[in-house]
Every structure is written in C-alpha cells, then in structure tokens.
Homo-oligomer: A and B are copies of this chain.
C-alpha cells in the first residue's frame, strides 16, 4: 500500500492542485458555477477512488457530494465529513501568490482552501483509493462533502434529516479542525453545545422623551442590563437555577490530562490584546472555554444608536444570548430553564419575550472509546507520539446541524464523532484499519 502511495504521489498532488484552482467561493454568487465545478470534480474523484453511488445531491444552495463503499454490512461504518467550498479570497493584492493558482514553497502548498478544507478531505479520498486499490477497505466508508460550510451549512441539516438511512454510520470522522502544533499533535474530542435565544423587553407602548418620563417608568434598556447582569454571580457562575445540575464534572485525572496541552497565558493575552482574562472562579482558561458551560450576550440593541445624542426612553430593548453547553446538558432543557428564569426576574412594568433560536448538543468522544483509540493510534503512527486530547474548539457546523430539531432525534445512532486533522493518508488508513476491530 505504501508502494501505491509512493508511485501515485505526483498524480495525487496534481489532482489536489487542480481542485485548488477552482475558486469555489460559496459566499459569492458570482462563483456559483465554480462551486458546482468543484462539487463535480470531487464526485469524479470519489468514483475514481472506487466508491459507489458518487453523486451530487441538490439543495436550495450548493450541492452536497456523497459516495459510499459498503464492504460488509456487519462491519462498522465510518462517515467522513468535509467541505469543498472556501472563504472569499479578497483582498487579492495581499496574497504573495494568487489564491487560486497554488504554488509550493518550502514543501507547503499556498492556495485558498489548501488547509480549509480541500487538502484535508482530499487526503481521505486518496487514502480510501489506495486501500481499495490494494488490500481493500477494512470497514464500510461513507463520504459526505458539502459546499456551504463557510456560509453556515444552512442546508446540511435538512439533507442529513432526509437521508438518515443512507448516512447511517457508527462514527463520524471530521477533518476540519487544527492541531496544537506539529510538535504537539492533538485530537479534538469534544465540542460544546449551544442554546441560543433572543430576548425582548418591552416597557411603554411607544418611545418616550426621557426629559418627560425619565425616572418615572421602566427603561427597557436599563432593565435588560440589570437582568443580564444578574445572570452571573460574583464567581462568574451562571445563576439560572438548575443550570449546572447535569454538568459533567471532570475528575482530577481528567483535568490533568487536558492540562497537558501547552498553553501560554501571556501569549494568549498578547494575541487578544487584553490585559487580563476573565471567567469562572476555580477553572483555568482552557477549562473555562472547554469543559465549562457559559453564557454570553452575542448581540444587544435598543434606543437611539445613530450619531450624536437623542434623549429617547425607548419602548423596547433586545439581546441575543447564547449558552455553551457541556455533556450532559441539552439545548431543550437549558432553553426552558433560561426562559423560565429570565421571565421570573423581570420587574413589574415590563413584559418579556424569549424566542429560542437553534440549539446544538454538546459532544464528547470518550478517551477510552475504541474510536478515540483508533484515531490516537493513527496519529501515533504518523507523528511518532500520542496526540493530546483537546476540547472546546469549534469544528465544522456538522455537530450543530445534526442536532437541529433535536426533538426528532434522528441521529441518536451516531454514537461518536471524532474531529481529526488529517495531513497524511497514512493516518486515515491507520484509523480505518483500527476502527474495523
């Protein structure tokens, strides 16, 4: 098999460069034809790799490419996820080489999408091709490459729901994340979930003049600020009753394992341009952003926001508030708790509405699961050292999509997901080989 990789190396590279030349910018409708061309390119390479049913599935946006190879219905099935669309490349003049004319410097490919995500998912296709062409696949493989990851994966959720049987798998392999560094390979084992709501506070039935009414009636902005402020206590903990009830408290051993990831607080602060970090008392910055649930206001608006000064006492004020969830919190339960609590703390004289937006389940791959061990072993083979498990970084939209309309629970059978940055076909092969067990 190594022979196959060696003897086809140049062709693999040339094909990837061809794919990188296609400006598949999903955000810009001027590139709509190019986005489709990239999808067709991927479909053809999936066919060439020996996969069955390679085809474009239309959506109201860009098509999703799907292919599969079922070798034995009794063996495990791996669903590989990736995306063939890229971010816009403007401003072009800041590129050292043209974004859609890939060039190789110091053994690195420079092009829009080389890392995110064409390079990563193409590696999977070539690993599958090599295995099919030589010893055969050790397990069943399904490949789903979408074209809207960079614009929010708006149609992935529906596609997944409508094709639950086709996509059924034992493990999802996502290669759309990063590693800590080449010296410190790492494996994403968890992603926080999400509960997202929009709130509105209404006071008087019209905007008032603050000179006439100021001090006499509730100001919805002041009230909203007070209600939001009360959602955290002095230790930075969320005050919603029951919020932490189902939170998975990690053991000291687990926390020690996570703490192995190198982290330079000074560098972190320097990068963000802040003088200090902030968060829940008793947890490190890495823990605060990975194993702990949080509440953040993502947007707020009300009253006069234009130039200069207007002394309006507004009728309404609104905010978008999201909570990051950890196992075993669920978006539905947390959204319900938030709504009940937020309404309960409203003072007399205002009305409160809470509108839930989407939610997403938190995901964790147990480090002692066969899937995590398979991924870990694959990394070790490629890097010569075990990867460090990390949690909390946002990977692709996939886990969130899987959980939209969670009442339907169409994916309870997806027991595990692994986010695996893939820079060499060997890793993929090692993973697939191990997973078959």
Contacts and interface: CB of A to CB of B under 8 A. Distances in A.
A344 to B, nearest CB: 16
Contacts of A30: none
Given A212-B289, A357-B309, A277 B217 contact: yes
Nearest to A297: B221
A308 interface: yes
Contacts of A298: 210, 221, 303-304, 309-314
Contacts of A313: 296, 298
Contacts of A254: none
Nearest to A357: B309
Nearest to A393: B212
Interface string A194-224: 1010100001111011111111111101101
Contact of A225 (B229, B275, B276): B229
Contact of A272 (B204, B308, B322): B204
B303 A320 contact: yes
B358 A309 contact: yes
Given A215-B292, A280-B215, A309-B320, A203 B274 contact: yes
Q: Which of A216, A273, A318, A393 has the most CB of B within 10 A?
A: A216
A232 B300 CA distance: 20
Contacts of A300: 221, 224-225, 300-303, 305, 317
A303 B311 contact: no
A257 interface: no
A376 to B, nearest CB: 23
A250 interface: no
A279 interface: yes
Interface in A231-245: 232, 236
B232 A229 contact: no
Contact of A218 (B217, B274, B312, B318): B274
A294 interface: yes
B204 A394 contact: no
A304 B320 contact: yes
Contacts of A232: 222, 226
Contacts of A288: 215-216
A383 B348 CA distance: 40
A216 B311 contact: no
Interface of A: 191-192, 194, 196, 198, 203-206, 208-219, 221-222, 224-226, 228-230, 232, 236, 272-280, 285-286, 288-289, 292-294, 296-305, 308-314, 317-320, 322, 324, 347-350, 357-358, 392-394
17 contacts: A192-B214, A194-B211, A194-B311, A203-B272, A204-B273, A211-B392, A211-B393, A214-B294, A215-B293, A215-B296, A218-B274, A219-B297, A221-B319, A298-B311, A301-B305, A305-B320, A309-B357
Given A222-B297, A298-B313, A310-B320, 11 more contacts: A212-B392, A215-B293, A215-B294, A216-B279, A217-B272, A219-B297, A221-B228, A226-B228, A229-B229, A299-B305, A308-B357
